[in-house]
């Protein structure tokens, strides 16, 4: 199919007309609590055998994911789903692929209690943390109640809210720098919009703000796969037939860093993922040139990963 070229070097007069908006820093987060949350995010004492931290599965060097098909947790148990990126997670309408919790605060306890992830509980975690007197003193300065489930959860969630990957080439382009992205990336963005990808992937997170069926135009799941628990998506939460095979639309920010793709983690390359989305969500087949253009656009969504998060 023919693409409609974007005037590549034209400066956008108003970003408000674009369906994608730049990421902006959250300046309302208390720095002290962010730092405590950072320490807890990397603390392996949150797992039963002190072997796994939040950062074990949400590796910043892997785009906030783990680079695996599905996550590996306590005693090398393999989880059923691909690990979503933690970057920009505060912009999602809900957490987890099936959206079973509404907030980051609700999400934090899930992995801690999950027997194949961290396999522990808050009383045991708190007991271990209290033995660290220096950390406890630092913690009490910001949380006078000390280590409790609520304060630990708040600190980790506050840190996660800071994980906004600003200053991507595409954001700089939206903000008026016409040289921030290549001609191919700009043409890929126009094609992305023309095809209708933008109907699910828009806003500041370029996704994450709705649930959508995997297989809108052509069924993606067939045979026994269609009935597998992990493929039922939001249906597992609501039990509504209309939610069968519906998942939270993932953010496309930093997507070039977070292979493999989709909830099952079986799609190894970004180009393959683009072709699958075109076929099953849009009912169209893309040629290699079109796939390459969209890939160039998606690569331009890679933002800044701050060293101080590590």
d(CA 117, CA 287): 40
Q: Do the Cβ atoms of 12 and 20 come closer than 8 Å?
A: no
User: pTM for this structure?
Assistant: 0.93
**What sign results for the dihedral spanned by CA atoms 55, 60, 65, 66?**
negative
pLDDT at residue 8 greater than cutoff 70: no
Rounded CA-CA distance 299/293 in Å is 10
User: What are φ and ψ of residue 213, in 5° steps?
Assistant: -70, 135
**How far apart, in whole angstroms, are the C-alpha atoms of residue 162 and residue 306?**
10
Residue 292 CB neighbour total at 10 angstroms:
15
Strand partners for 248:
211
- On the question of pLDDT at 136 being above 60, the answer is yes
Write the CA distances from 269 to 10, 69, 265, 272, integer angstroms.
31, 12, 10, 5
Angle between helices 288-299 and 183-195 (to 10 degrees): 110
pLDDT tens column, 21-59: 999 999 999 999 999 999 999 999 999 999 999 999 999
Q: Are 201 and 249 in contact (CB under 8 A)?
A: yes
Name the 3-class secondary structure at 72.
Answer: strand
pLDDT, tens digit (0-9, with 9 covering 90-100), for 56-113: 999 999 999 999 999 999 999 999 999 999 999 999 999 999 999 999 999 999 999 9
Angle between helical axes of 122-130 and 104-113 (0-180°, round to 10) = 90
E strands within the chain? Answer: 211-213, 246-248
Distance CA 247, CA 96 (A): 9
How does DSSP assign 167-202, residue by residue? --HHHHHHTT-TTSS-HHHHHHHHHHHHHTGGGTS-
Arithmetic mean of pLDDT, 185-197: 98
Q: What is the mean pLDDT of the chain?
A: 95
Report the catalytic residues: 117
Tell whether the model's pLDDT for residue 12 goes beyond 60: no
Q: What is the pLDDT of residues 274-306, one digit of tens each?
A: 999 999 999 999 999 999 999 999 999 999 999
Spell out a b/e string for 149-184, using b for 16 or more CB atoms within 10 Å of the CB, else e.
Answer: eebbbbbbbbbbbbbbbeebbbbbbbeeeeebbbeb
10-24, 89-103, 124-138, 192-206, range with the lowest pLDDT = 10-24
Q: How many residues does the chain have?
A: 310
Residue 5 has what pLDDT?
40
Sequence-separated (6 or more) residues with CB below 8 Å from residue 190: 3, 4, 5, 6
Q: What's the pLDDT at 274?
A: 98
Taking only the tens place, the pLDDT of each residue in 211-262 is 999 999 999 999 999 999 999 999 999 999 999 999 999 999 999 999 999 9
pLDDT of residue 17: 87
pLDDT attached to residue 97: 98
């Amino acid at each position: 199919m023919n693409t409609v070229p974007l005037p590549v070097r034209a400066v956008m007069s108003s970003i408000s007309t674009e369906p994608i908006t730049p990421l902006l820093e959250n300046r309302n987060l208390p720095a002290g609590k962010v730092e405590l949350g950072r320490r807890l995010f990397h603390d392996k004492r949150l797992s039963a055998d002190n072997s796994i931290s939040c950062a074990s599965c949400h590796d910043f060097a892997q785009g906030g994911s783990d680079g695996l098909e599905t996550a590996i947790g306590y005693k090398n148990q393999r989880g059923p789903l691909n690990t979503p990126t933690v970057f920009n997670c505060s912009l999602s309408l809900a957490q987890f692929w099936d959206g079973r919790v509404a907030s980051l605060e609700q999400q934090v306890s899930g992995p801690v209690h999950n027997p194949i992830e961290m396999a522990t509980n808050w009383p045991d975690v708190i007991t271990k943390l209290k033995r660290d007197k220096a950390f406890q003193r630092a913690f009490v300065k910001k949380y006078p109640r000390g280590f409790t489930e609520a304060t630990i959860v708040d600190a980790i969630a506050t840190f996660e809210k800071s994980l906004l990957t600003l200053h991507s080439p595409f954001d700089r382009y939206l903000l008026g720098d016409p040289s921030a992205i290549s001609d191919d990336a700009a043409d890929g963005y126009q094609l992305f919009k023309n095809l209708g990808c933008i109907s699910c992937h828009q806003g500041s997170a370029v996704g994450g703000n709705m649930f959508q069926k995997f297989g809108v135009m052509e069924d993606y799941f067939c045979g026994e796969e269609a009935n597998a628990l992990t493929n039922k998506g939001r249906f597992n939460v609501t039990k509504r037939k209309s939610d069968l095979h519906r998942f939270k639309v993932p953010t496309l920010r930093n997507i070039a860093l977070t292979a493999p793709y989709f909830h099952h983690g079986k799609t190894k390359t970004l180009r393959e993922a683009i072709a699958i989305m075109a076929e099953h969500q849009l009912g169209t087949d893309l040629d290699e040139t079109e796939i390459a253009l969209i890939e160039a656009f998606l690569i331009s969504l890679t933002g800044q990963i701050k060293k101080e998060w590590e």
